[in-house]
Amino acid sequence: MSSNTALLLIDFINSMDFEGGENLLENTKDIVPDVKALKQEAKSQNVPVIYVNDNFGLWQDHVDDLIEDVKKGQGRPVIEELEPSKDEYFILKPKHSGFYGTQLDILLQQLEVEQLIIAGIAGDICVLFTANDAYMRGYDLWVPENTSASEHKEDNENALRIVKRSLQADISSTKKCSIEDYVRNEKQ
Amino acid sequence: MSSNTALLLIDFINSMDFEGGENLLENTKDIVPDVKALKQEAKSQNVPVIYVNDNFGLWQDHVDDLIEDVKKGQGRPVIEELEPSKDEYFILKPKHSGFYGTQLDILLQQLEVEQLIIAGIAGDICVLFTANDAYMRGYDLWVPENTSASEHKEDNENALRIVKRSLQADISSTKKCSIEDYVRNEKQ
Amino acid sequence: MSSNTALLLIDFINSMDFEGGENLLENTKDIVPDVKALKQEAKSQNVPVIYVNDNFGLWQDHVDDLIEDVKKGQGRPVIEELEPSKDEYFILKPKHSGFYGTQLDILLQQLEVEQLIIAGIAGDICVLFTANDAYMRGYDLWVPENTSASEHKEDNENALRIVKRSLQADISSTKKCSIEDYVRNEKQ
Amino acid sequence: MSSNTALLLIDFINSMDFEGGENLLENTKDIVPDVKALKQEAKSQNVPVIYVNDNFGLWQDHVDDLIEDVKKGQGRPVIEELEPSKDEYFILKPKHSGFYGTQLDILLQQLEVEQLIIAGIAGDICVLFTANDAYMRGYDLWVPENTSASEHKEDNENALRIVKRSLQADISSTKKCSIEDYVRNEKQ
């Protein structure tokens, strides 16, 4: 399938070593199987997979070092399930939004992407603000309700409500909508 | 009082001529007296007042024309209460966030502003995303809970919760905290 | 003619009241007739005309006030020849490049512009740096050698050489290439 | 010495495998000893060294892979002299300017840098446009005339002239001005 869609995976490479990190880890574990399946579907459909991940204060574009370092934290079980491979894009971000201080927008233009599927943590911070920056730049958005997690479930739902209302995003579960369905609908 | 604080007034110059505009108008009318008092206090304290407002598709920096045009809509009662004067800054924004595609950040740096007070509509869209962009750029934030409004009150509360939690902003009511208090606390 | 081309007029609304302003004024007067003809051709071809102009420290989007104010300077003869009308776009820029801290890029995307014709002053500062930012964003460029001016003629030629070599821009004179020719060549 | 100065090294990690690359390589070899000495002085003075380098189309933040790959080109002798170590910053840039689509500005703010020393290639492209973006963001600039190189020497001199005139940068040779001198002068 040829498409102009990409999948963003936000901040899954995460030490979780901060206040509230245990809650976030528990909620993230719940979504990992669905995220893994989504990533697998993306790869089978030749939809580019782009990790967009906090730089954890390293400020250097040495991704391999970052992953090794972050794995020492309590987020290790999530990282092991969603570890990036070298044929996937990996972009470090210095702040909340994946578009602020990164080459993400330029990469997406080069790949001729017009539609973004966004999965990640935390739903009420980095996913929300990346989605907003994507919306302002004109991307169509699908932020599946079952592939983002926050420290508190109520906050994740609130954020999804804003994403749906304010950014006119699709938030259908990946259990009801496949990437193939999404791309077909957008093309109409 | 010398300070490095500025007051942003987001999207009050608004036709309200869109779906849901009547609800937003009603909720905005409720906050107008508190916004007006806040603006008055800012002026008395020499805190710069900066309107940051949707360009309503005009894409030209003719603010006077824009205000006249927008006043024809149902938002007129709000505009009349909060009309800008020529000694206040007025910046047009093309999208949700006041920082995207505008000279706001450069103006704030020139004014040596480090703390922002943000009031505006809608709380769950333009105020939220302007606050986030401000936070990523390192500004300290006060987003008073009684000077923003959204189409639905529940959404305004949700957005304020995100602003407080994710952006570490103060959301105290202006009835409990004055600009003078806020500036004094930040300086400590 | 349908096209995805726009004409940028950089900093012609200029007081010229600065050190070196007299030289710049003399050199600008030499190009005004060609710029005026280029603008006329753009209008006759429905190519959008976008003034992108220094804010002269006003930091407010009141274009009419700015023009009145700037006209008091020695640049008045140039302004009178190239005065904007209300059906043309007018964007204020706070710094050298027309893309930094402005809504220019968003406007160009909305107009579906892919090719830019750039005329303006000074050729070795604001024209050069606007052209570079345009090139990095993927626009094709025509910077006619007879519609930019600098304080020193040698510097203008140097800047044009960089524009041609580093930004792969066309620098043909408008006497040898019309807008119609340019658009036709680009479409091939 | 405590300072708020940083040294940017632009595009030295370069395959040189492009048209004109041989000329650029020859001219770059001439400046390598002075660049190496400048880098050494920076390190001895605790001035942060920040490589800002083309991503060579890899669009992934795997710096180690990039360096290995680029070393296969004819630029290898330059890379071997100026190879980055892990205690130096390394930022990938997708386009000409080191500030476009990168975390450079955010890193500099975090390091509280106000003055930049810029060395690199090519002087009439990436060094010039990085210097301009730095100037628009308020950094004081030193672009030593003996630590940048271009494909043609005349173009390098032209670019330096623009940097000096338009960006008010110091272009003194490192043989006449040390980092210590520069920092002392700026502090006055």
pLDDT 10s digits, D146-156: 999 999 999 99
From residue A148, alpha-carbon distances to A26, A156, A174, B167, C106 in Å are 12, 8, 11, 19, 30
Chains that touch A (3 or more CB pairs under 8 A): B, D
Statement: residue C1 has pLDDT above 50: no
* Residue B162 sits at the chain A interface (C-beta within 8 Å): yes
Nearest CA to B24 among B38, B6, B39, B10?
Answer: B10
Q: Give tens-digit pLDDT for D85-98.
A: 888 999 999 999 99
Chains that touch B (3 or more CB pairs under 8 A): A, C
Q: Do C95 and D136 touch (CB under 8 A)?
A: yes
Chains that touch D (3 or more CB pairs under 8 A): A, C
pLDDT for residue B188? 60
pLDDT for residue C63? 82
* Residue D106 sits at the chain A interface (C-beta within 8 Å): yes
Which of A43-52, B177-186, C6-15, C41-50 has the least mean pLDDT? B177-186
Statement: residue A188 has pLDDT above 70: no
pLDDT for residue D188? 60
* Residue D164 sits at the chain C interface (C-beta within 8 Å): no
- At C126, the pLDDT band (50, 70, 90 cuts) reads very high
Outline where DSSP puts E strands in D83-126: 89-93, 115-121
C141 token code pair:
């460029």
What average pLDDT score do residues A121-133 get? Answer: 96
pLDDT for residue C187? 65
From residue D164, alpha-carbon distances to C110, D143, D144, D147, D184 in Å are 37, 9, 10, 15, 20
In whole angstroms, give the CA distance from residue C89 to residue C110: 13
Phi and psi at residue B159, to the nearest 5°: -65, -40
| Number of neighbouring beta carbons within 10 Å of residue B55 | 22
Statement: residue C29 has pLDDT above 90: yes
Chain B contacts of C64, Cβ < 8 Å?
Answer: 62, 64
Domain boundaries, chain B: 5-187
**Which residue type sits at D37?**
A
Q: Do D62 and A94 touch (CB under 8 A)?
A: no
Statement: residue B35 has pLDDT above 90: yes
Q: Do B102 and C107 touch (CB under 8 A)?
A: no
Q: Average pLDDT of chain B?
A: 93
Q: Average pLDDT of chain D?
A: 93
**Which residue type sits at B110?**
Q
Pick the residue with more confidence: A185 or D133?
D133
Q: Give tens-digit pLDDT for A89-100.
A: 999 999 999 999
Contact C31, C149 (CB under 8 A): yes
* Residue D68 sits at the chain A interface (C-beta within 8 Å): no
| Number of neighbouring beta carbons within 10 Å of residue B123 | 31
Q: Which residues contact B79 (CB under 8 A, 6 or more apart)?
A: B12, B13, B14, B67, B70, B71
A102 token code pair:
């990164």
pLDDT for residue D154? 93
* Residue B170 sits at the chain A interface (C-beta within 8 Å): no
Nearest Cα residue in chain D from C137: D95
* Sign of the torsion formed by the C-alpha atoms of D79, D82, D88 and D92: negative
Contact D130, D21 (CB under 8 A): no
Q: Average pLDDT of chain A?
A: 93
Q: Which residues contact D167 (CB under 8 A, 6 or more apart)?
A: D131, D132, D135, D141
Chain A contacts of B129, Cβ < 8 Å?
Answer: 129, 132, 136
- At D61, the pLDDT band (50, 70, 90 cuts) reads confident
Statement: residue B48 has pLDDT above 50: yes
Q: Do A62 and D86 touch (CB under 8 A)?
A: yes
In whole angstroms, give the CA distance from residue A114 to residue A101: 20
pLDDT for residue C61? 72
What ipTM was reported for this prediction?
0.90
CATH number assigned to the domain with residue range C5-187, chosen from the 4 options 2.60.120.10, 3.30.300.90, 3.40.50.850, 3.40.50.2000:
3.40.50.850
pLDDT for residue A2? 47
What average pLDDT score do residues A122-142 get? Answer: 97
Q: Give tens-digit pLDDT for C40-95.
A: 999 999 999 999 999 887 777 778 888 888 999 999 999 999 999 888 999 999 99
Helix (H, G, I), strand (E, B) or coil at D139: coil
Contact D148, D160 (CB under 8 A): yes
pLDDT for residue D6? 97
- At C2, the pLDDT band (50, 70, 90 cuts) reads very low
What average pLDDT score do residues C161-186 get? Answer: 92
Taking only residues 30 to 59 of chain C, the set having a beta carbon closer than 8 angstroms to any beta carbon of chain B reads 55, 59
H or E segment at C90?
strand C89-93
What pTM was computed for the model?
Answer: 0.93
- Mutation choice for B interface testing from A130, A165, A167, A168 by most B CBs within 10 A: A165
In whole angstroms, give the CA distance from residue B60 to residue B93: 10
What average pLDDT score do residues A105-118 get? Answer: 96
Contact A82, A38 (CB under 8 A): no
In whole angstroms, give the CA distance from residue C21 to residue C75: 8
Number of residues written out for chain A: 188
pLDDT for residue B20? 87
